[in-house]
Amino acid sequence: MTIKELESFISVAREDLANIHKRSLKDSMKDVAKKALGRPSATKDMIFWPAGVLLFGLTEAITPVISESLREDITADINSFIKKWQDEGSEKVSFVDDSVFGAALLGMYKITDDEKLKQSASKIYDFLNNSPKNRTGSIIYNPKAGNDYIFADGAGQSAMFLSRYGAEIDDKAFELAATQLINYYDHGMDFRSGLPYHAFTMSTAKKLGLLGWGRAMGWLIMGYAEFLTCIYKTSDIHNDAAGQVILPAGIDSKTLDIIKEQFINLVRTTLSYQRLDGGFSWQLQAIEGEPDTSATAMIGYALARTLKSGIFNGAATNNSQNPSRDVNKEGGFDGNSTLSCESVKQSLLRMQDFILLHSEKGSVQKSLSGCEDIGVHRQVYGHYPWGQGAALAMLTHTIQL
């Protein structure tokens, strides 16, 4: 992949962001349907997750890899979008999904050290910290619906934001992030396959929705990736006189080991379902089914984000929860092989080729449309902001491998 190709993805993402709130009649009708189901709709929330993913991808793209003038243009676009939200007065935070926007906002705060961005991020943190939770501390996705459903989306999205908030502003946020990840792994996974369900509820002890939805896994491992990379970054600058790592408030070495082991298990499981063409299907285990660029890009970003941290060095060579797969027959990672930096890098490069194959002049195609409710995944594929934003985030990191 070339810098010119990356810049074409940036150009499309910038255009998508400029048009994110121009709703068609069809989209408006879908919003009405979501409202009737008690689900959040994009028109009610300026920082709803499709815009958040675009902002996230653009923030990740502000690197020395691209020209200084383009970095300035991206920064101006992002700051303009954030300012519109800030100028609303209330800087309203309405849903767990707003965490994705918050992660992008913290990315900009890290770059600019703008105090107003810090204040805005604190409002998102306060929303998550004060949101209704189930008895184990998981943030309920949509409490207005009158249930205690915990979604993979919400667990991963909130962990992303909370981890960055812990690294940049207040390390107490790491504890809430860890709770979201560990609880989902304990209560929302299928332990025969190692794949996540879309949601779970503790009030009736049920696991809900599709098993192995690609974006559910994408959100989860993105949450794990942000947590681990932020922890290691924070720990690097918090050593005592003897050089021993001092972990953030609320995180002990046992908790860190648990999360790292869970992440490795999730990565091994995910890579076992990689397709021959390098991508992932909308439903991971449907290897010969419809491919999904959005799920592939989210998974790819998480792996690229953690690759340089050394997390994959010395990773376990087996996982009793997950079956082995034939890498030659199905294209997936052999469950008995060693998970190493090199093997992850090779898988990532295949994902990059898959994204490029399904893109047209920087416009990412073959992304699965939005999930309308638990178990409602209409098989519509095309160009969507979540596919574009996630692909840009991933490609910004893979081009530097």
What's the CATH code of the domain at 76? 1.50.10.10
Mean pLDDT, residues 215-234 taken together = 93
Please give the tally of structural domains in the chain. Answer: 1
The residues, any chain, with a CB within 8 Å of residue 113's CB and separated by 6 or more, are: none
For residue 56, is pLDDT > 90?
A: yes
Residue pLDDT, tens place only, 201-217: 999 999 999 999 999 99
| pTM strictly above 0.85 | yes
Cα 300 from Cα 295, distance rounded (Å): 8
Element (H, E) at 242: none
The residues, any chain, with a CB within 8 Å of residue 367's CB and separated by 6 or more, are: 292, 293, 294, 381, 382, 383, 384, 386, 387, 388
Mean pLDDT, residues 359-371 taken together = 96
Least confident of 153-167, 175-189, 227-241, 262-276: 227-241
- Neighbour count for residue 234 (Cβ, 10 Å): 20
Percent pLDDT > 90 in the chain is 75
The residue range of the domain holding 280 is 3-398
